[in-house]
Amino acid sequence: MSILKELQWRGLIKQITNEERLLKAEKNHSAVYCGFDPTADSLHVGHLMMIIMLKRFSDFGFKAIALVGGGTGMIGDPSFKSDERQLQTNEQLLKNFNSIEKQLKSIIKGVEFKNNKDWLGKFSMIDFLREVGKDFNISYLLNKESIATRISTGLSFTEFSYTMLQAYDFYHLYINDDCKVQLGGSDQWGNLTSGTDYISSKVGSDKTEAVGVTIPLLLKADGTKFGKTSSGAIWLDENKTSVYNFYQFWLNQTDEDSQNFIKFLTFYNENEIKKLIETHRNEPKNRHVQKALAESLTNFVHGQEKLDQAKLLTEGFFKGSIFDLDKSLIELAIKSMNSIEVKKNESLADSLIKVKAVQSKRELREFIASKAISYNNVVLVKEDLLIADINPIFENKIIIKKGKKSYFVLTII
């Protein structure tokens, strides 16, 4: 099977500039790249589609290149944003760049990393305008959807120039790294075609082998944006989103969403996915597809050892045996719980309301009456306890359990 057929059955091609060139690039084991701008110190699950796309191309014999935009990150992509990005300091960009490069290296083995600041940073303004700017017609740029949609609301020349910078990135990699394919989300189509058109203008329309491929935006079945929860983004950095919460995020997807995501985001083949979906339909309560999705992605991002820990924590949380886990796992569990800081002279009741374990003292009394709330594995029997009356665990922690599987942490300061 070719990479083209692989992407087609998975529904992973939104637009492609030239299918024949893609197949030729595969035959010649050319390079493929996609870019990640260092706008934060971690990538999130919204980036997983592109990370996994690089791995797919690598598995089909392409040389995969991850371009972390140390240069373009200083500008900001205007694509369909309602206002200008806030420019980051050089220090913050460097911190983000180093964090993302380290993160990607831990996830994808055998991928080459590039920083476009290495070549964009060498241009003077005059040089860039002479060597690159002269090849871009203003009317051509104004027809780019990402630019046209911003003209009425305001667009600085800084962001207006972004598509030229990205086009030059593709040209630089095309000439120096035999990179024939650029990948991007569907909102990047204008930038990708700027690159293929620019390369065509430089090497000749009859000689160019450049191809751009966009993938669909990852949306939920209801059309809402994927990767956001009530508590915020789901990060790939375990210090920002715990491995347990990452695992649970995938485990809690709906049947419809999980059946789409397992095609988009895992390496199960077509027959394996059909069997998983069929098994799931016969035993929906066992959530076979969600479990396969959660295990595959947690292993891909965090590794088998962290996946095993997440599964043990899941068993501990949902079977009520968290205090039977070893100390290191309980410490990991604590990182996954809603937590607040409290003082010794505070009442436990007020602290439980503050951490949102209960809504009111009246509700707390109902939980106490039904013996449904505990602290450090001790059933709570009265509401007038002070934090000082409770012996903490792990030096300064109080673990609250409400019902069968809701946990909270009070950290004594």
Q: Residues marked as binding?
A: 33, 162, 166, 228
Give the integer Cα–Cα distance in Å for 48 and 40: 15
Is residue 77 part of the annotated active site? The answer reads: no
Is residue 285 part of the annotated active site? The answer reads: no
Is residue 365 part of the annotated active site? The answer reads: no
Q: Which of 10, 47, 288, 401 is catalytic?
A: 47
Torsion, Cα 37 43 48 50, to 10 degrees, reads 10
Is residue 228 part of the annotated active site? The answer reads: yes
Residue 74, CB-side half-sphere exposure with 13 Å CA sphere: 12
Is residue 166 part of the annotated active site? The answer reads: yes
Burial group, residue 4, by CB count within 10 angstroms (0-12, 13-18, 19+): middle
Q: Among positive and negative, which fits the CA dihedral 282, 283, 285, 290?
A: negative
Is residue 44 part of the annotated active site? The answer reads: yes
79 SS3 class? coil
Paired tokens of 306: 């962290």
Is residue 229 part of the annotated active site? The answer reads: yes
Nearest alpha-carbon partner for 52 in 226, 308, 297: 297
Q: Which of 24, 63, 220, 228 is catalytic?
A: 228
Is residue 196 part of the annotated active site? The answer reads: no
Nearest alpha-carbon partner for 61 in 86, 29, 91: 29
Say which amino acid occupies 215.
Answer: I
Q: Which of 17, 72, 166, 193 is catalytic?
A: 166
Torsion, Cα 249 252 256 260, to 10 degrees, reads 30
Burial group, residue 124, by CB count within 10 angstroms (0-12, 13-18, 19+): exposed
Per the annotation, binding residues for L-tyrosine are 33, 162, 166
Q: Which of 5, 29, 130, 225 is catalytic?
A: 225
Per the annotation, binding residues for ATP are 228
Paired tokens of 87: 């420019």
Q: Which of 187, 237, 255, 350 is catalytic?
A: 187
Is residue 187 part of the annotated active site? The answer reads: yes
Give the integer Cα–Cα distance in Å for 331 and 118: 42
Q: Which of 15, 39, 158, 314 is catalytic?
A: 39
Q: Which of 44, 202, 335, 361 is catalytic?
A: 44
Q: Which of 83, 118, 229, 404 is catalytic?
A: 229
Torsion, Cα 201 207 209 213, to 10 degrees, reads 40
Q: Which of 14, 24, 63, 81 is catalytic?
A: 81
Q: Which of 85, 95, 263, 287 is catalytic?
A: 85
Question: CB of 238 within 8 A of CB of 106?
Answer: no
Is residue 188 part of the annotated active site? The answer reads: no
Cα–Cα distances (Å) from 308 to 121, 303, 312, in that order, read 44, 9, 6
CB neighbours of 25 closer than 8 A, spacing ≥ 6? 32, 62, 180, 181, 209, 211
Q: Would you list the DSSP string of 207-266?
A: T---EEEEE---B-TTSPBTTEETTEE-BSSTTTS-HHHHHHHHHTS-HHHHHHHHHHH-
Cβ neighbours around 203 below 10 Å, total:
15
Question: CB of 373 within 8 A of CB of 401?
Answer: yes
**Catalytic annotation, residues:** 39, 44, 47, 81, 85, 166, 187, 225, 228-229
